[in-house]
Amino acid sequence: MSVATEEHLTRDAAGGLNWQPAAETMPREHLLALQVERLRATLENAYENVPFYRKKMDELGVEPGDVTGLDAVASLPFTTKIDLRDHYPFGMFARPRDQVVRVHASSGTTGNPTTVGYTRADIDTWGDLIARTLAAGGVAPGDLLQNAYGYGLFTGGLGLHFGAERLGCTVVPISGGNTERQLKIMRDFGATALSCTPSYAMYLADAARDRGLRPEDLPVRVGFHGAEPWTNELRTQIESGLGEHALDIYGLSEMGGPGVAFECLCKGGMHINEDHYLAEVIDPETLRPLPFGEIGELVFTTLTREAQPLLRYRTRDLCTLIDEPCACGRTSVRMSKPIGRSDDMLIIRGVNVFPSQIEEVLMSIPAIEPHYQIVVDRKGYLDVIEVWVEVGEDLFAETMGDLERFQKGVQAQIYNVLNIQVAVKLKEPKTIQRSEGKAVRVVDRRTVL
Ligand code: DLL
């Protein structure tokens, strides 16, 4: 394990730092050769140790040794969230459980969550990738990171935490929420870097302003904001509100969490850590790979993960890949900000929510009619969900007190499944709009900020 020292760090041309300069600025032909070598090792690991992949590869007639170039990727099997769920909890692991030192899980899947396992080496690699991310924003040993991503099964909290420690920063594991305390700690401890979702960053900026604090009263210099979609317009507002550089950070639990891609101070798309993740953009209908610059679904193959190699994992995120060189000097391909998803997943305050999860709860309650609508909106900068449900005549004839108890009960049941608060609104029979075609179950009034 390498020790964080200043020697790792070199200046990049955008005013940030390279944590692993040799890897981050590797000539492309070397990078492509490294990818081929690592792809072959990944296929061996998957084939030898994960029965699911052995079966898939046997069916397709692919052998790890066949892979001599990156063109071979197109002949490999895809992996989806459903595959992971079908092998819950540890069936996709390529290592015995006693070699897996950490397990995280993704939020918001119906039924079983998708689990992700890490060996000691996987945790170290992850730390390096987050250290790259933070360094690209100019963070160095001696900086103090206020980490307001949630700690727990979600990968945001611990992911940023370990990476910051690896870089040699002081980490404050404050986790999300409690705005008053966030602002106090930020100033008292002198936080120079902040990590949290972009919506929470904006919330903090507003809260600071409401308390008469000016951006120059806040010590934060740079923020790392991701886990949900956001725009450059929101970036401008966060930057002026908090007086920081607001940088984007992308990842997903299945790929190990944040650190798959990150922005440098050029703010022109996120550098993909291509020495660890092989990226493709495909047409979600035909599944054919698309050229650089075309919008499609992002697909990743892990290149170094020991505990859980994944081949051609379909992220469902829609974006483009950018191959023009970046002024910072990194040689990696960048991804644009994701512009949407090819499935119906909603991201509410950083938590992944599938409408079907809400439907399952509602449909298990007999007094609720099969007519409902999920209304997603944004109050200030935070997402809010209202669930409108039609109840039967009998229930509507009850007293106000009974109705209120019922409504609270439904809210609590939804909370148990999603772990986020929703407001349930009971509607009179036959008042929710019926549709002649597909039912409109989700009304998303948010525009991406
Ligand atoms: O959100 C990991 C993460 C933590 C990323 C902290 C960045 C910072 P999941 O909960 O599995 O993992 O959700 C993954 O969130 O497929 C995208 O749809 C969305 N997402 C993540 N980062 C971004 C981003 C974490 N920068 C899903 N921009 C992904 C847009 C993002 N969407």
Is the pLDDT assigned to residue 409 strictly greater than 50? yes
Please indicate whether residue 100 or residue 234 has the higher confidence score (pLDDT). Answer: 100
Residue 202's pLDDT is: 87
Q: Report CA(288)–ligand 1 centroid distance (Å).
A: 24
Least confident of 90-94, 106-110, 195-199, 317-321: 106-110
Q: Report CA(164)–ligand 1 centroid distance (Å).
A: 19
Is the pLDDT assigned to residue 279 strictly greater than 70? yes
Instruction: Evaluate whether 350 touches 382 at the Cβ level (below 8 Å).
Output: no
Least confident of 127-141, 394-408, 425-439: 425-439
* Owner of token pair 């075609």: 437
pLDDT per residue as tens digits for the range 343-366: 878 888 888 888 878 888 887 888
What single-letter amino acid sits at 196? Answer: C
Residue 435's pLDDT is: 59
Is the pLDDT assigned to residue 111 strictly greater than 50? yes
Please indicate whether residue 162 or residue 398 has the higher confidence score (pLDDT). Answer: 162
From residue 165, give the alpha-carbon distance in Å to each of 3, 169, 341: 10, 5, 33
Residue nearest to ligand 1 atom 18, measured at CA:
317
Is the pLDDT assigned to residue 2 strictly greater than 50? no
Residues β-bridged to residue 146: 172, 194
> What is the rounded CA–CA span in Å between residue 1 and residue 123?
11
Residue nearest to ligand 1 atom 9, measured at CA:
252
DSSP label at residue 381: T
User: How do 193-195 and 222-226 pair as beta strands?
Assistant: parallel
Q: What mean pLDDT comes out for the span 269-273?
A: 98
> What is the rounded CA–CA span in Å between residue 251 and residue 249?
7
> What is the rounded CA–CA span in Å between residue 384 and residue 399?
28
Q: Which atom of ligand 1 is nearest to the CA of 108?
A: 10
pLDDT band of 449, cuts 50, 70, 90 = low
Residue nearest to ligand 1 atom 1, measured at CA:
227
347, 348, 383, 448: which to mutate for ligand 1, most atoms within 8 A of CB?
A: 347
DSSP SS3 for 435: coil
Is the pLDDT assigned to residue 4 strictly greater than 60? no
Q: What mean pLDDT comes out for the span 111-123?
A: 92
Residue 203's pLDDT is: 87
Residue 440's pLDDT is: 72
Q: CA torsion, points 115, 121, 123, 128, in degrees to nearest 10?
A: -130
Q: Report CA(14)–ligand 1 centroid distance (Å).
A: 25
pLDDT band of 1, cuts 50, 70, 90 = very low
> What is the rounded CA–CA span in Å between residue 137 and residue 342?
31
Least confident of 183-192, 208-217, 223-232: 223-232
Residue 193's pLDDT is: 98
User: Six-digit token pair at 346?
Assistant: 């909603």
Q: What mean pLDDT comes out for the span 276-290?
A: 96
pLDDT band of 110, cuts 50, 70, 90 = low
> What is the rounded CA–CA span in Å between residue 357 and residue 106?
14
pLDDT band of 69, cuts 50, 70, 90 = very high
User: Six-digit token pair at 333?
Assistant: 């391909």
Mean pLDDT score of the chain:
92
80, 175, 352: which to mutate for ligand 1, most atoms within 8 A of CB?
A: 352
Least confident of 117-131, 182-196, 355-369: 355-369
Residue 446's pLDDT is: 84
pLDDT band of 208, cuts 50, 70, 90 = very high
Residue 436's pLDDT is: 57
Is the pLDDT assigned to residue 437 strictly greater than 70? no
